Structure 1
């Protein structure tokens, strides 16, 4: 379903629903961050997506990473909680979501990366290479927090 993301846009529609979402930050032995290039909008992002009814939020993180990357993970911590009402996503069916996102830290326990229906590219990206990538501003915030060592989880 086509969507439009709004961030700090005075012309954005009002949210009419609150949606639980997960993102997952996974770093490799070289401290690079696992990102996907989304197939729906071409943005680079941390793997993640919507939590399903009847699902625990950490289980949603495990499922979404598997669906988007092919990897099996174990959640190890929390990067932050993101609830900015100035970030809404409008869908063509009239739904306008404000996200309540938990961004987790995780480690890989199995699986193999590969292109999926939701990700045209799955790659580990060095911190110095992030500036040149097309990344939504709210995702840049989450990535920045994920790259900061020994920090309490962000609440915002």
Structure 2
């Protein structure tokens, strides 16, 4: 049995390890007709998040967002807008394989707004423990990283795209 990679997120922590890489990712902010938000609970840190993942070579930001949503939730989405670009240097992610640090990443995330066009909720057990549609008023009961909460708050607020 192979050991899973774990991740530890740091936020505005002066004692966080120094980054060894800076990589781009895409996330997708999806609401249903009732205004509920699509969330999943990650397998690597047990936190709730919106669908998110690293951009692969030969792939656009939008293609990445659509792929990650489908892989993590079973739902196919269509991109309909930009929530924002999130690049706060105070967010650092440590990837561990066992006790060994594989990478210390400072992420750059492009968060896109999307709508579901096909599929049924079916989490990939390697990516998500569960997937739920959550009313915005209930978000405070879900444990999530402050960087994800910021993306969600910006998405819920609407208006012009957020850039940091």
Q: TM-score range by the shorter chain?
A: over 0.9
Answer yes or no: is 1:35 the counterpart of 2:44.
no
Answer yes or no: is 1:146 the counterpart of 2:150.
no
Instruction: Give the Å deviation of 1:146.
Output: 0.9
Instruction: Give the Å deviation of 1:121.
Output: 1.2
TM-score by length of 1: 0.95
Instruction: Give the Å deviation of 1:91.
Output: 2.0
| 1:13-55 residue CA offsets vs partner (Å, 9 max, x unmatched) | 1112111111101111111111111111111110111111111
Deviating 4+ runs (over 3 angstroms):
none
Unaligned runs of 5+ residues in structure 1 are: none
| 1:45-93 residue CA offsets vs partner (Å, 9 max, x unmatched) | 1011111111111100010000000011111101000001110111234
Residue equivalent to 1:21: 25
| 1:80-136 residue CA offsets vs partner (Å, 9 max, x unmatched) | 000011101112344211111000000111011122121111111001100111011
User: RMSD of the alignment, in Å?
Assistant: 1.0
TM-score by length of 2: 0.91
